[in-house]
């Protein structure tokens, strides 16, 4: 058994992966600066780094954002919060807010690691009171108000009593109140109703408690389209990573894509006219041609919905992807004459060629899903 362990510990694999996600720290810093300059003097910025920083690599991204002057970070849940906290890249003064409503078993970890906990209901509040009191520690709380998203949060009509109960607790500290827009790229209509309900509640609370509280509502869409929603803090997500949340936003920032996904040509073959490619034989060669196989598939995050619709760049030239996307490879049509060689880099999306937004349009989804879908087996290379 000891010999087996020794053998396993000495196993090596190639350092260079065939498929890589290049992540530009320079572009990320530039995007953060653009957002900060837009809201400067009006609101501070919380960097949203949930879902492994939208697939970009949470520790490196958070480190760069902190170097860019951001000290508030938003993650999905306590698991992501602990991962970020224990990564050791942030200053002790940094604030991490976990957006999800926690299970009672999670609460002690908020206390242990100094994470801001979201409270949406009385059951969670009372569990938090009990656990914080048992540890004789103060738990930082932020209350989420459901003004119309219908996902998480307490409705404004009953939120005031919950806020008062937090204020009366000796072991809970209210750090913020926030909400989330359902149609943030559209400043009128329902978004305006949500904002009005939220600001009415927070104004009543601040008046009743004779204190001011950090209020935040604006995600990427609202940062662009609704200055009134900036309040005390804004929460950019997709904007940080170089994309706009919707095509119909009233304002655009010159943000740049931060991630580029590249893979390698691993095989080239000649096909006769009429030959078919990939599962279910969905593509037939109209004439004799060369087909390149590239080492990326849906297990890497290159969606099967792109089958036969996308384009790939190799050596600066655009080639159509053909046949069904498989788990580990895709095929592209090189035509009858080409200069492509095994080992050449192929760009799937990023700052050259197709953007994540263009790829999303082809797949019938959004840029968020394309970015978050880049799997863990794709090596992140930080530039």
Catalytic residue status for 309: no
Cα–Cα dist 101/80, whole Å: 13
Rounded to whole angstroms, the Cα distance separating 118 from 235 reads 15
Alpha carbon distance 253, 299 (integer Å): 33
* Sign of the four-CA dihedral 248, 251, 255, 258: negative
What whole-number distance in Å separates Cα of residue 94 and Cα of residue 77?
Answer: 17
Distance CA 165, CA 159 (A): 10
In this structure, the chain runs to a length of 383
Distance of CA 314 to the CA centre of its chain: 28
CA dihedral 254, 67, 366, 155 (to 10 degrees): -110
- 132/147 Cα distance (integer angstroms): 28
Taking the CA atoms of the chain, what radius of gyration do you get in angstroms?
A: 24
What is the rounded CA–CA span in Å between residue 369 and residue 267?
29
What contacts 34, CB < 8 A, 6 or more positions away? 253, 254, 255
* Annotated catalytic residue, options 50, 85, 144, 215: 50
Q: Which of 112, 269, 279, 284 is catalytic?
A: 279
Closest C-alpha to 201, from 140, 154, 150? 154
CA-closest candidate to residue 34, choices 255, 332, 206, 219: 255
The tokens describing 104, both together, are 């009672």
* Angle, CA of 173, 174 and 176, to the nearest 5°: 145
User: Do 131 and 111 meet the contact criterion of CB atoms below 8 Å apart?
Assistant: yes
CA distance linking residue 292 with residue 313, whole number of Å? 12
The question of whether 279 is a catalytic residue gets the answer: yes
Is 37 in contact with 354 (CB distance < 8 Å)?
A: no
* Residues catalogued as catalytic: 50, 279
């Amino acid at each position: 058994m000891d010999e087996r362990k020794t053998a396993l510990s000495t196993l090596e694999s190639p350092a260079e992966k065939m498929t890589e996600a290049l992540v530009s720290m320079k572009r990320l810093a530039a995007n953060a600066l653009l957002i900060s300059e837009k809201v400067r003097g009006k609101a501070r910025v919380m960097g949203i780094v949930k879902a492994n920083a939208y697939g970009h690599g949470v520790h490196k991204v958070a480190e760069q954002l902190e170097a860019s002057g951001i000290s508030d970070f938003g993650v999905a849940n306590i698991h992501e919060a602990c991962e970020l906290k224990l990564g050791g890249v942030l200053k002790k003064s940094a604030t991490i807010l976990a957006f999800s409503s926690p299970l009672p078993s999670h609460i002690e970890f908020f206390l242990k690691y100094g994470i801001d906990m979201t409270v949406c209901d009385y059951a969670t509040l009372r569990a938090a009171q009990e656990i914080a009191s048992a540890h004789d520690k103060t738990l930082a709380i932020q209350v989420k108000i459901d003004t119309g998203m219908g996902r998480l949060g307490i409705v404004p009509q009953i939120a005031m009593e919950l806020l008062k109960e937090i204020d009366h607790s000796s072991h809970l500290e209210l750090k913020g109140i926030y909400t989330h827009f359902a149609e943030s790229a559209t400043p009128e209509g329902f978004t305006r109703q949500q904002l009005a309900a939220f600001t009415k509640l927070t104004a009543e609370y601040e008046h009743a408690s004779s204190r001011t509280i950090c209020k935040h509502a604006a995600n990427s869409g609202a940062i662009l389209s609704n200055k009134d929603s900036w309040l005390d803090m804004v929460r950019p997500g997709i904007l940080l990573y170089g994309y706009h949340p919707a095509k119909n936003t009233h304002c655009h920032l010159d943000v740049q894509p931060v991630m580029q996904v590249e893979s390698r040509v691993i095989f080239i073959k000649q096909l006769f006219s009429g030959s078919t490619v990939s599962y279910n034989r969905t593509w037939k060669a109209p004439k004799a041609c060369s087909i390149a196989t590239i080492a990326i598939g849906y297990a890497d995050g290159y969606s099967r919905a792109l089958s036969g619709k996308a384009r790939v760049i190799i050596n600066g030239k655009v080639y159509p992807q053909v046949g069904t996307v498989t788990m580990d490879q895709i095929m592209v049509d090189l035509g009858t004459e080409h200069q492509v060689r095994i080992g050449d880099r192929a760009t799937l999306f990023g700052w050259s060629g197709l953007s994540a937004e263009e790829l999303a349009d082809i797949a019938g989804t959004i840029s968020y899903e394309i970015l978050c879908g880049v799997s863990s087996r794709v090596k992140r290379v930080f530039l």
